[in-house]
Amino acid sequence: MYPISRHSPRLHLRELHPGDAEGLFAIYGDARATEHMSFDPRTRDDVDAIVARSITSAALDPRQEYALAVTDNGDGRLIGFGRLALDPHQPRAATFGFALRPDTWGNGYGTETVRLLLASAFEDLGLHRVWGALPAEHRLRPDHATRRAHRGGPHPRARPSRGPMAGLGDPLHPRPRVLRNSISELT
Ligand SMILES: CC(C)(COP(=O)(O)OP(=O)(O)OC[C@H]1O[C@@H](n2cnc3c(N)ncnc32)[C@H](O)[C@@H]1OP(=O)(O)O)[C@@H](O)C(=O)NCCC(=O)NCCS
Question: Structurally, how many domains does the chain consist of?
Answer: 1
Q: Which domain holds residue 84?
A: 5-186
Pocket test for ligand 1, best of 111, 112, 137 (most atoms within 8 A of CB): 111
Q: 7-51 pLDDT, tens per residue?
A: 999 999 999 999 999 999 999 999 999 998 888 999 999 999 999
Report the separation in Å between the CA atom of 148 and the middle of ligand 1, taken as the mean of its atom positions. Answer: 12
Report the separation in Å between the CA atom of 139 and the middle of ligand 1, taken as the mean of its atom positions. Answer: 10
- Does the model's pTM come out above 0.85? no
Residue 93 belongs to domain with CATH number: 3.40.630.30
Residue closest by Cα to atom 43 of ligand 1: 99
Q: 96-148 pLDDT, tens per residue?
A: 999 999 999 999 999 999 999 999 999 999 999 999 877 666 554 444 444 44
How many angstroms separate the CA atoms of 33 and 138, rounded? 12
Report the separation in Å between the CA atom of 133 and the middle of ligand 1, taken as the mean of its atom positions. Answer: 13
